[in-house]
Structure 1
Amino acid sequence: MTRPPIRRVASDVRRGRGAARREAEAAIRRQAASDLDAYVAFDPAAIRERADAVDRAVAKGEDPGPLAGVLVSVKDLYALDGTPLRAGSKRPLPAWSEGFLVRSLRRLGAVFAGKTHTVEFAFGAVGLNPNTGTPVNPWDPAEHRAPGGSSAGAGVSLWEGSARIALGSDTGGSIRIPASATGVVGMRPTTGRWPTTGVVPLSTTLDTVGLLTHTAEDLRHAFLALDPPAGSDREPAGSLSEGISGLRIGVPASRLWTDAEPDIQAVVRGALVELEAAGAMLLDVDVPELDEAGERYFDGRIVQPEFLGFLERELPEWIPLLHSIIGKRLGAAGEVRAIDYLAALDARHRLSARAHARLTAERVDLLATPTLPIAPPPLAALSRLGAYRDANRAMLSGTCPASMLDMCAISLPAGLDGEGMPVGLQLMGPSGGDLRLLAQAAVVEGVLGTNLTRLGTPPRVPA
């Protein structure tokens, strides 16, 4: 399997050397041949129509933009004109208007592939959705394994070949979790960097919108197209010419490491040793705020009451329709007192300030941990609600601390575990340091290799 970078795809389309329609037809063929069930809605006619519009613009001498002809799958939490919005629920939601990220991608020349599956209202990390279906993780040739959630179809759509960029949302890890589980790259931008307009909310405090791609360089190109650095930017953009030499990577003493399965620890540590051999500096650091942030996320005093409040205000008739794996976990949300909710928000700010001060004092560029502490579980093992809850908590435990600490974070493929499932390396950077983290991730990828070179092709995807 070969895969040109999206920079080259878009450049060829913009210069008339390629055709958006040809890209579209290839994506449509791949989706038709796939049994991975990435999408809840896929409309070949709409894809062709949008691709033809891009090609017509080029023919008239216009520039469609730096993502011209690039296929983008859209998590079914986003409003997308012409496509129903279900948010993984049992029926379509009232009409929503497209928001920042979808509108921006339209202006940049992207072609939307369709709506990918999400966990119902994004409230889950495993990727399971009994309402609309659960995509197949392509790395297990025999069993139906979880794809990671809540952006359940995002990574699957990339391997299917029907999209080169996948839109996800990340509250406690819903971009990074499926990126790790399916062996692609996914980034949580700093909270508030991009508006979450046009996206069904889970937590007004923690929600972010972002991208998954096959490579860090693809993600960096798309991010810079959406959010180019300006003179007033808060952080330097970072330069790939800096290389890996001297990059200071903190390895925290934390349950993010100790709770990870031994073979997952070994894969991620092996990747870090490779980075060290290439010139990076590995530093043992103590960041107790990571573990406390995880504990506070799971106490349910921020996300759950914010989610329940949204449903009660905007979609009260949907509450009785929630599947039990969602509804039962919401049970105590209405009992959270306002004083406890406000105290949780205050604690989050204090923890974030302490963690950032610690990184500055240690002169650490970023923190490195496993993205997920467990392998994506087979769906058959999740039939009991208790088993689902345990897996859901485990899959959130590696990513929710960065969300609570208001850090930007990215997951890169580190290798395969003993079961042949992908393992993610999570790199966490300081708040507002998105562009630098992207540059550092591209440098790390230059040492470790892309997912194709490091992991190979999933067994359920034709080579």
Structure 2
Amino acid sequence: MKRPSIQEVGTEVRRGGGVACREAETAICRHEASDLGAYIAFNAGAIRQQADAVDVAAARGEDPGPLAGVTVSIKDLYALDGTPLRAGTKRPLPAWPEGFLVRALRELGAVITGKTHTVEFAFGAVGLNPNTGTPVNPWDPVEHRAPGGSSAGAGVSLWEGSARIALGSDTGGSIRIPASATGVVGFRPTTGRWPTTGVVPLSTTLDTVGLLTHTVEDLRYAFRVLDPLAGYARETADATPEGVSGLRIGVPASRLWTDAEPGIATVVEGALAELRAVGATVIEIDMPELDEAGERYFDGQIVQPEFLGFLERDLPEWIPLLHPIVGKRLGAAGDVRALDYLAALHERRRLSAVVHARLASERIDLLATPTLPIAPPPLAALSRLGAYRDANRLMLSGTCPASMLDLCAISLPAGLDGVGMPVGLQLMGPAGADLAVLAQAAAVESVLGTNLTRLGIPPRLAEPSQAD
């Protein structure tokens, strides 16, 4: 059971023969057959027009680009010309220009399918949005479980079959969390590597933009053709992974492990054992800064005042409209003193410097932890605000340290837990090592297998072909 890679799709489209239009029709049919609710806006007419333009260019002998005809869903935090931008709120935001990542995808020939659901203003990790709707996690055949947030519809759109790439944003984990929760791959690039233009901000300090895909191979290829710093000819992008022999993986003594449910920790430990068996060096490492970074993230001294400052400056009329799960959590952000905010930024830089120095001195390529410490909860269990807050904190706790420490990080499927929900393996690497981390993660995937081989097909998919 194998789906074609993104590189293979782009290659076939560039050869001509109407392949982009066939890809578009497949995406439309699978969306229309789905009840997962990934999208807030899906425009079949616009998809067909984009695909037709790609095929016409290919027929003329022009090169539409290395992502020609590849379908891409866009988180409704990104501006998209011709589609209202709501950012998960109760009404559309003012006009916002398209930014770096959407423009780059268009230039490379991608076909944009529509806007996927996000948590209101991306301020939440569960994926819940009472304003616009919460996508269904396809792995529970009975209950409506959280899809992970804040890029709530991203992973769901991949399983729906309407997109091969999903755009997300990641402040404290909003790409990696839904990737883990839905059994796909999600990568947080180094902070600042890609411009966040055209994206509604949450935290000017921590925001990143990035991708979710079914496989590391796909994500690595897409990243390399999109990345301004990749430094090689796009046409020769090579997705062949290096081996894991000699790879040094650090397992940190941290709450990221001890707070994980036993069944989740066991799945990730099993994946690491498989890597050790084929030559990876897996060693325990002292890394208390991970826990300290997480605590400082939850102190609310950085994200909350930056978020509130943006709202007060640019969207003051939206503040009274915030749903309580966002508004009440924003709480006392206005009471954060400037000195405390500056001290938090300084401490973040200090912790990051310590961690990077230790990774270098101990020659650690990657740090490995569970991505999420808990299974995605059923929405019925989150009806009380207190229960939601507890779940939200837990779902952020595994990913926010990497954000605070300026690490790039990827989540890939490690297996299924005792209730059949996906478990993510998070691999974290130094700032600026994005291409190396993606190559190492591809090597890991070559051992563990892709999500189809590792996890199988989600029970809610109507038929196996939807996963292809």
1:354-369 equivalences under 5 Å are 354-369=354-369
**For 1:343-376, what per-residue CA distance to the aligned partner results, in whole angstroms no more than 9, with x for missing partners?**
0000000000000001111110010000000000
Distance (Å, rounded) in 2 between the aligned partners of 1:264 and 1:63: 45
| 3-state DSSP of counterpart to 2:367 | strand
CA contact (8 A) 2:18 2:55 kept: no
| Partner residue, 2:425 | 425
CA contact (8 A) 1:137 1:146 kept: yes
| Partner residue, 1:223 | 223
| Partner residue, 1:275 | 275
| Partner residue, 1:198 | 198
RMSD between aligned alpha carbons? 1.3
Equivalent residues, number: 459
| Partner residue, 1:291 | 291
Distance (Å, rounded) in 1 between the aligned partners of 2:305 and 2:449: 42
CA contact (8 A) 1:238 1:440 kept: no
| Partner residue, 1:162 | 162
**For 1:122-171, what per-residue CA distance to the aligned partner results, in whole angstroms no more than 9, with x for missing partners?**
00000000000000000000000000000000000000000000000000
| 3-state DSSP of counterpart to 1:257 | helix
Shift of the alpha carbon at 1:239?
8.7
| Partner residue, 1:119 | 119
CA contact (8 A) 1:188 1:208 kept: yes
Q: Provide closer, same or farther for how the CA distance between residues 230 and 40 of structure 1 changes in structure 2, counting only shifts above 3 A.
A: closer
| Partner residue, 1:189 | 189
| Partner residue, 1:444 | 444
Distance (Å, rounded) in 1 between the aligned partners of 2:238 and 2:84: 39
CA contact (8 A) 1:90 1:131 kept: yes
Shift of the alpha carbon at 1:240?
4.7
| 3-state DSSP of counterpart to 2:93 | coil
| Partner residue, 1:253 | 253
| Partner residue, 1:351 | 351
Distance (Å, rounded) in 2 between the aligned partners of 1:18 and 1:268: 43
1:268-347 equivalences under 5 Å are 268-347=268-347
Q: Provide closer, same or farther for how the CA distance between residues 18 and 273 of structure 1 changes in structure 2, counting only shifts above 3 A.
A: farther
CA contact (8 A) 1:240 1:440 kept: no
Shift of the alpha carbon at 1:16?
1.4
Per the normalisation by structure 1, the TM-score is 0.98
| Partner residue, 1:243 | 243
**For 1:186-217, what per-residue CA distance to the aligned partner results, in whole angstroms no more than 9, with x for missing partners?**
00000000000000000000000000000000
Distance (Å, rounded) in 2 between the aligned partners of 1:256 and 1:414: 16
Distance (Å, rounded) in 2 between the aligned partners of 1:149 and 1:300: 18
| Partner residue, 1:210 | 210
Distance (Å, rounded) in 1 between the aligned partners of 2:298 and 2:137: 26
Unaligned runs of 5+ in 2: none
| 3-state DSSP of counterpart to 2:359 | helix
| Partner residue, 1:142 | 142
Distance (Å, rounded) in 2 between the aligned partners of 1:229 and 1:407: 17
Shift of the alpha carbon at 1:229?
5.1
CA contact (8 A) 2:244 2:278 kept: yes
In the alignment, structure 1 residue 46 sits paired with structure 2 residue 46: yes
Distance (Å, rounded) in 2 between the aligned partners of 1:460 and 1:242: 35
Per the normalisation by structure 2, the TM-score is 0.97
| 3-state DSSP of counterpart to 1:243 | coil
In the alignment, structure 1 residue 178 sits paired with structure 2 residue 178: yes
Distance (Å, rounded) in 2 between the aligned partners of 1:38 and 1:304: 27
Distance (Å, rounded) in 1 between the aligned partners of 2:434 and 2:241: 17
CA contact (8 A) 1:238 1:439 kept: no
The residue type paired with residue 131 of structure 1 is N
CA contact (8 A) 1:246 1:280 kept: yes
Q: Provide closer, same or farther for how the CA distance between residues 364 and 376 of structure 1 changes in structure 2, counting only shifts above 3 A.
A: same
| Partner residue, 1:456 | 456
| 3-state DSSP of counterpart to 2:210 | strand
CA contact (8 A) 2:241 2:440 kept: no
In the alignment, structure 1 residue 376 sits paired with structure 2 residue 373: no
| 3-state DSSP of counterpart to 2:402 | helix
| 3-state DSSP of counterpart to 2:411 | strand
Moved over 2 A (4+): 228-232, 237-242
Q: Provide closer, same or farther for how the CA distance between residues 410 and 184 of structure 1 changes in structure 2, counting only shifts above 3 A.
A: same
1:389-428 equivalences under 5 Å are 389-428=389-428
| 3-state DSSP of counterpart to 1:78 | coil
The residue type paired with residue 362 of structure 2 is E
Q: Provide closer, same or farther for how the CA distance between residues 322 and 46 of structure 1 changes in structure 2, counting only shifts above 3 A.
A: same
CA contact (8 A) 2:242 2:442 kept: no
Distance (Å, rounded) in 1 between the aligned partners of 2:173 and 2:78: 17
Aligned-pair identity (%): 81
Shift of the alpha carbon at 1:3?
1.4
Unaligned runs of 5+ in 1: none
Q: Provide closer, same or farther for how the CA distance between residues 334 and 88 of structure 1 changes in structure 2, counting only shifts above 3 A.
A: same
Distance (Å, rounded) in 2 between the aligned partners of 1:78 and 1:110: 16
Q: Provide closer, same or farther for how the CA distance between residues 239 and 285 of structure 1 changes in structure 2, counting only shifts above 3 A.
A: farther
In the alignment, structure 1 residue 32 sits paired with structure 2 residue 63: no
Q: Provide closer, same or farther for how the CA distance between residues 239 and 20 of structure 1 changes in structure 2, counting only shifts above 3 A.
A: closer
Shift of the alpha carbon at 1:238?
11
CA contact (8 A) 1:192 1:208 kept: yes
Distance (Å, rounded) in 1 between the aligned partners of 2:398 and 2:317: 34
CA contact (8 A) 2:294 2:404 kept: yes
| 3-state DSSP of counterpart to 2:327 | helix
Shift of the alpha carbon at 1:242?
3.6
In the alignment, structure 1 residue 97 sits paired with structure 2 residue 104: no
CA contact (8 A) 1:36 1:156 kept: yes
Distance (Å, rounded) in 1 between the aligned partners of 2:423 and 2:2: 22
Q: Mean Cα displacement is larger for which, 1-10 or 314-323?
A: 1-10
Distance (Å, rounded) in 1 between the aligned partners of 2:129 and 2:254: 31
CA contact (8 A) 1:411 1:426 kept: yes
Distance (Å, rounded) in 2 between the aligned partners of 1:242 and 1:392: 36
Distance (Å, rounded) in 2 between the aligned partners of 1:210 and 1:18: 29
Q: Provide closer, same or farther for how the CA distance between residues 231 and 384 of structure 1 changes in structure 2, counting only shifts above 3 A.
A: closer
